[in-house]
Every structure is written in C-alpha cells, then in structure tokens.
Amino acid sequence: MRRTLDDVQTSAGSTTTDALALLRDRPLVVLTGAGLSTDSGIPDYRGPGSPARTPMTYGEFVSGEAARQRYWARSHLGWSRMRAAGPNAGHLALAALDPTLLITQNVDGLHERAGSRRLVALHGRIADVVCLDCRTTSGRAELQGRLDAANPGWLAEHAAAEVRPDGDVDLEETAGFVVPACEVCGGVLKPDVVFFGENVPAPRVERCYAAVDALVDAGGALLVAGSSLTVMSGFRFVRRAAKAGTPVVIVNRGETRGDELATYRLDVGCSEFLSALAP
C-alpha cells in the first residue's frame, strides 16, 4: 500500500508534498549517490558529519607497488565489511518504482541486490576485479580468498579500523601486505571501478544521456537521491535535464552542486522519501 504524503514529516513541509505529487505517475530517471546507502551502514563522502578524505587516484594506483599495496591492504579490510551490508528501504523502494533508468554513482551493488532491473552502474562495481595488463575480469570474492591466504591474520589484527566509503578503511600502516598478481598473466589487479582521474566509459554515459533526453517528450522528471553532485559524472545529467526544461527533484542531506537547477530541493532522508513515493 502506498504511504500517504502526511507520513513524511520534514521541515520542508508542503515542498515534500509538492515534490511527491510532481514525481508520481511520470516516467522517471533516477540518479543515486552515496547518501542512499548510509542507511545500510556504508558511510558517504560529503554528508553531514562525514570525515574529510582523499580517495586514491588512478595515477597514484598505477604509480608503483607501494601505492597498490596501500590500496589493497585497506580495501581488503573494508570490503570484508561492505559485502555484509544489505539493501535498505530506499533501495527496495526504487526497485518497486522501476524507473525508466536508474543511474547510480555507487559501487556497492545494493541496487542490483534489491532487484532493480534497468540500471547503469556509472562507476562500476567494487565486487568486480580487472587485470590492467590482459583485461581479464574476475570476482572480488575470489580475490578476497587469495588475499586472506597471502595475509593470514590481517583482518583480525586490524578489526578496529574505521570503515570509509567504497570499501575503504582508515589505516596508515600497510607495509608487508602481500598483493597477489593476475592468475592469467601475472599483471596488475585493480577493482573494476572508475577511480578519480579516470573517465566513465562512453557507452554508459551515452545510455544515460539518451534516457535523460527521452524525458522531454515523455513528460518525465529526473530524481536525484543521495548525491551532492560534486563530481561532473553525475552533475552533467542534472545540468542536461534542467537545460531541456525537464523537472528536477533533488533529495539529499546537505547542499548539492545542482540546487539552483532543481524544481524542488529537499533536505530529507532518502529512505523516507522514496518509501513515500513507491507504489
């Protein structure tokens, strides 16, 4: 049963009611960010109270063995916890809504686990691994087993390390961590996600642009949930929709780069809002 508008109690007042009314019964493209997964226990980058952090760039990752050792030592700890996270009410609501296209900046795979069908994982998935030399792809669970075997006791020794976004943890001492090579060619393994300094693959971007453009003739709307839109990979879709006259609704805790382009801008929880919108 659909929740009533009055079930969402926020300081936005009638704006929330208006936004829900605007979005209902329209074709939707939805763009999600890290704020959608905080209710699953995964920290976000820029929400209220989030710690300052500088993610490793692609240039750093390929700069040498020490950088990759640092990345995998921290990721080994973080991913062991991230994979235990489950979809929250917001993920489930979006699966029920089944928008024309769901674009996610998240790499946690929770939309897929919730059952979303028409989805573009803009930045890839942390559960996938690629060899930078032979381009062979494999599953992260398999690599996790190899990391465990090569670094016995590492998880237990650093169990208190604080979790950060994207399967990372707060850990400085990574000397001695053993990083396995590709089993096919002996090359360098990297999570199959877009690092800062890399470009989102063009086919993904074009599919998203096409879905956003189609909203014009369909009388649809673009909904942003849980993204600060700080990086251009997501902000460009908001800018494109607004330029075409498509309504844009932004739901996020804290300011976003796209606030001035939004038809409605709501500082409310993603899970609550999406649950109210879902059928």
Give the distance from CA 15 to its chain's centroid: 26
Q: What are phi and psi of 62, to 5 degrees?
A: -90, 5
Q: Where are the alpha helices (DSSP H) in 24-82?
A: 58-61, 65-82
Q: How far is residue 182 from each of residues 146, 189, 194, 233, 236, measured CA to CA in Å?
A: 11, 6, 19, 29, 35
Is 187 annotated as contributing to ligand binding? no
- As beta bridge partners, residue 163 has 169
130 among annotated binding-site residues: no
Do residues 259 and 250 touch, judged by C-beta distance below 8 A? Answer: yes
Spatial distance between the Cα atoms of 123 and 195, rounded to a whole number of angstroms: 8
Q: Answer yes or no: is 199 a known binding residue.
A: no
Q: Is 269 annotated as a binding residue?
A: no
220 annotated to bind ligand: no
Instruction: Answer yes or no: is 208 a known binding residue.
Output: no
Structure tokens at 63: 């700069």
End-to-end, the C-alpha distance of the chain in Å comes to 7
Token pair of 1, please? 């049963």
Amino acid letter, residue 171: L
Please check if 68 is assigned to a binding site: no
The verdict on whether residue 151 carries a ligand-binding annotation is: no
The residue behind tokens 């993920």 is: 91
- Residues marked active site are found at 123
What are the φ/ψ torsions at residue 55 (nearest 5 degrees)?
-65, 150
Strands (DSSP E) along 145-198, which ranges? 163-164, 168-169, 189-193
On whether 226 is known to bind a ligand per the annotation, the reply is: yes
Exposed / middle / buried, residue 11 (Cβ in 10 Å: 0-12, 13-18, 19+) = exposed
As given in the structure block, the two tokens for residue 144 are: 């996790």
Annotated binding residues, written as ranges, equal 105-108, 131, 134, 182, 185, 226-228, 252-254, 270
Annotated binding residues for Zn(2+), written as ranges, equal 131, 134, 182, 185
Annotated binding residues for NAD(+), written as ranges, equal 105-108, 226-228, 252-254, 270
